[in-house]
Each structure stands twice: as structure tokens, then as C-alpha cells.
Structure 1
Amino acid sequence: MNIDDLKSEWQRAGAEPHSEQELAMMTRVRNHPTLRGLRIKFVTEIAALTAFLLLYYDGFDGAQKPMIINVLLIFSITLYVTTNALGYAQIQNPRVSGNIREALARRVQSLKRMAALSLGSSVVYALALVAFLTYQIEFNQRKYIILSGLVIGFILLFYYSLISWRRKISHFEAMQADF
């Protein structure tokens, strides 16, 4: 590309103004790529957990487990999905008032509450799943190793989630401190 082509491209830049509707669509929070990724993750989790709930009774001998274990498992999955849905809805529809400092302070407090709810529901779900999978199992060394791997996996996922929540909260705290 020579200098004349560059000059003509520069002069044509911005010549095609966007309509109000196009600008509104481009700046909507729901169109953000991060939200698209969260939406894909959320739909995938719901599909996988729904498939598990449809199959656990026959495929994982849910019929042979006590009712309290089944209820605990269903409750924990429902709590986990509900918490994620609330978090997604809160991120998708931010409430912004006139004062940015107050809005950021509310966002930080809201994120801290959502982090506690999300991490708590994850722990309840992991404990319910472990209780369901290990009920009436005669353990030997191989099964203890499998259980240890499962518990370590849950701990690592919990730790990753905790770090992710801390990063989000510290980002908004830094923005709040800048104001």
C-alpha cells in the first residue's frame, strides 16, 4: 500500500456513519464477548447437569440410594444452577446510578455476595455428589485413590473459581479506588 492509498483510506474513514440502532446494539452489555462465553458455559453446564439428573436414577443406581441422598443431590444441583443464573442475570443487567463511585461500591459488595453464594453452592454440590457416589461403597485401595483424585479435582476447581472471583472483585475495587 502506497501513501496515496493510505491517505484516501484515512479520508474515507468514518464516512459511513452508524445509525442510532447500530450504535445501541454495539454498546449493549448483553453483546459483550465475555458474556457470550459465560452464556455458552452456563448452557453447557445446564445441559450436562440435566442429562445427569435424567440418568442418575437408573444409570447411577439412584433408586437404591436413600431418599435423603437423592433429595440432597437434586437440591444441590438446583442451588448450583440457580446461583449461576442469578450471577449471570446480575452481570448481564448492571444497575448504574448517576454516581459512579457509589455504583462501583455497590458492584463490589454485590460481587462479594455472589462469590460467597457461588462458592458455597459449589461446595454443597461437590459434597452432595461425593456423598451420592460413595454411599454404600466398600472401599479398597483403588477406590480410595479414585476418591482422592475426585476430591483433589474438586479442590482445584474450587481454588480456580476462588481466584477468578478474587480477580473480578479486585478489578472493581481498583476502579473504585481510582475514583
Structure 2
Amino acid sequence: MELNELKDLWKGDGTPHKKQKEIEVLMHAKSHPVFRSVRRQIVVETLAWVMFLLFGYSAFDAATKPLWVGLMLALPVMATLTHHLIGYFWMVSAPVGSIPLSESLRASYRRMRWFTMRDTLLRLAMLVGLVSFFAYGITFTAGKYGLLGVICTATLIQLVFHRTLWGRRLRRLRYTIQALDEAGSH
């Protein structure tokens, strides 16, 4: 199909008509696929970290370590999980209905950028706490320093992956906003 034919088809009577219920669903920024993936990530991470903290206490001998070492792990994890829950609702709380969907998504995009920066910093604190927790009380040898280097490298790779994931989500949301803006200007 040629570009002109596609434009004519788009402008013609062949465009599908949406039911009122479908339009109402589209009006909520929360229904965007980016926010669904964020919700899924938050649920999975929350369950995993809560399980880790509950079972990790006995499995990783947290009772034999000083309280401050346990808090170095528990506090950043709890701060990150709290940030996820509060941040998600903050991101999707952009007003909808009375303003265009693109404006609502734009407000969510700005909020998501701030969330991403804070989340990356909290993630770094959480990973530092995790490495510190497991490294406490170990007498280091050359081999153990090598292993610590591998763990720190893996931690940094995970942090870069996390940042890339959020960057991809932000780009996807920005492309949706641009597409809505372009559709509205025609």
C-alpha cells in the first residue's frame, strides 16, 4: 500500500469506531503498557525482597552479625520497596479526564523521570548494603578479593541494566506522547 492510500484509509469512513467504555479505558494513563510493566516489576521485586529478608535472617546468619550490619541491608531494601509503592501511585496520579491524554501522559513522564533517578540511587544503596552485609566478618585473601570484584562488577552490570530498562520505558512513553501530539495536530 502506498502512503497516500494509507492516509486516505485513515481519513475515510473505514476507521473503527470506539465504544464509550473503550474510550474511558484509554483516557486513563494508568492503562498504558509502560505502567503495567512497572506494576509487574514492583510486585515481583517486592515479593522477592520480602522473601529474602524473611528467610535471609536465618539462612545468612544475620543473628550473629551486629545490628548495624543488618540495618545496612534492611533499611535500603525497605526504603526501595516503599519508594516503589509510593512512587508508582505518584507517577500515575496525573490528572485525567479534564485534560488531553497527551498532557496526562506528559505529567506522568516527568514524574517517572524523577522516580527513575531516585530509584537508581536507592538501588545503588541497596546493592552496597547487600555486598556489605555478605562481606562483613570475612577475612579477605587474594581469591576473596577477586570474588568481591566479580560481585561488585555484577552489581554494577545489574545497575546499568536497571537504568537501561527505565530508559527504555521513558522512551516508549515519550514516543506515545509524540504520536498523540502528531495525531492531534492533523
TM-score by length of 1: 0.72
**Greater displacement, 124-133 / 142-151:** 142-151
Q: Could you list the runs of 5+ residues in structure 1 that have no partner in the other structure?
A: 1-9
Aligned to 2:135: 134
Aligned to 2:74: 74
TM-score by length of 2: 0.69
Aligned to 1:159: 160
Residue 149, structure 1, aligned to residue 150, structure 2 = yes
CA distance in 2, matches of 1:70, 1:109: 35
Aligned to 1:32: 32
Contact 1:111 1:169 in 2 (8 A): no
CA distance in 2, matches of 1:118, 1:138: 32
Aligned to 1:84: 84
Is the partner of 2:138 in helix, strand or coil? coil
Structure-to-structure mapping, 1:116-135, within 5 angstroms: 116-135=117-136
One-letter amino acid of the structure 2 residue matched with residue 79 of structure 1:
A
Give deviations 1:85-134, integer Å, cap 9, x for gaps. Answer: 23322332224686999978866654443233112101110111111011
CA distance in 2, matches of 1:163, 1:48: 21
**Greater displacement, 111-120 / 58-67:** 111-120
Question: Structure 1 residues 91, 106: closer, same or farther in 2, change over 3 A?
Answer: closer
Q: Could you list the runs of 5+ residues in structure 2 that have no partner in the other structure?
A: 1-11
One-letter amino acid of the structure 1 residue matched with residue 65 of structure 2:
K
Aligned to 2:94: 94
CA distance in 2, matches of 1:29, 1:123: 29
Contact 2:94 2:107 in 1 (8 A): no
Root-mean-square deviation over aligned CA pairs:
3.7
Contact 2:69 2:133 in 1 (8 A): yes
